[in-house]
Amino acid sequence: MENEELIELKVLGITRSEVQAGAYALLLENADSTPDEARRIPIVVGAAEAQSIAVHLEQVMPSRPLTHDLFVSMFHAFGIELKRVNIYSFKNGVFAAMMHLSNGMADIDIDARTSDAIAIALRTGARIFTTPEVMKLTSYEWRRGGDYKPQRPVRLEDLPVEKLERRLQHYVDKEEYEKAAKVQKIIAQKTSSEQD
């Protein structure tokens, strides 16, 4: 996928996660945002990854290199450049990222945890991108003054069958059978109307 099809992101910072106790949220937003409005993506990360990202953002120099600093040192030692990070997928509540690396003679893509890829991108100055699909699935609209508008439809009936099937699986995995039954009924209605 070429860069022009992707959406560039910038890192806003780290905050405590309101969803998961003991975790943190890494907040990204579209790079072409304005001071008054943006699309923002929250990504839940662990304490170690949050600390590594926060240390860099706050320009704190640790006494010994952190793991992500070590990776960057190895990149420099072997002439490897991180060209960009692409957050390419969001499935079952988990983001996936690809690190695009080059040593001047060959390019290689390496799958990585999104938090690790971003921590390294921040240290190397590499740009961070996502796909329009991931942006649509995971972002919300932020406006100055606290007016938040989720992009996703609120009513289950408005979701496409593919998303309903993922939600159904999520409810089954969580053993929330009443919610699963409701979603299953909507899927049945949608698929029968498509066949008519």
Q: Are residues 135 and 43 in the same domain?
A: yes
Q: Are residues 29 and 113 in the same domain?
A: yes
Q: Are residues 163 and 126 in the same domain?
A: no
What is the number of domains present in the chain?
A: 2
Q: Are residues 107 and 187 in the same domain?
A: no
CATH number, position 90: 3.10.690.10
Q: Are residues 41 and 91 in the same domain?
A: yes
Q: Are residues 92 and 40 in the same domain?
A: yes
Dihedrals phi, psi of 164, to nearest 5 degrees? -65, -40
User: Is it the case that residue 122 has pLDDT exceeding 50?
Assistant: yes
pLDDT in tens, 65-76: 788 888 999 999
Please check whether residue 135 is in contact with residue 33, taking contact to mean a CB–CB distance below 8 angstroms.
Answer: no
Q: Are residues 125 and 163 in the same domain?
A: no
According to DSSP, the residues that pair with 44 across neighbouring strands are 25
Q: The domain containing residue 127 runs over which residues?
A: 3-150
Q: Are residues 108 and 131 in the same domain?
A: yes
pLDDT in tens, 125-140: 999 999 999 999 999 8
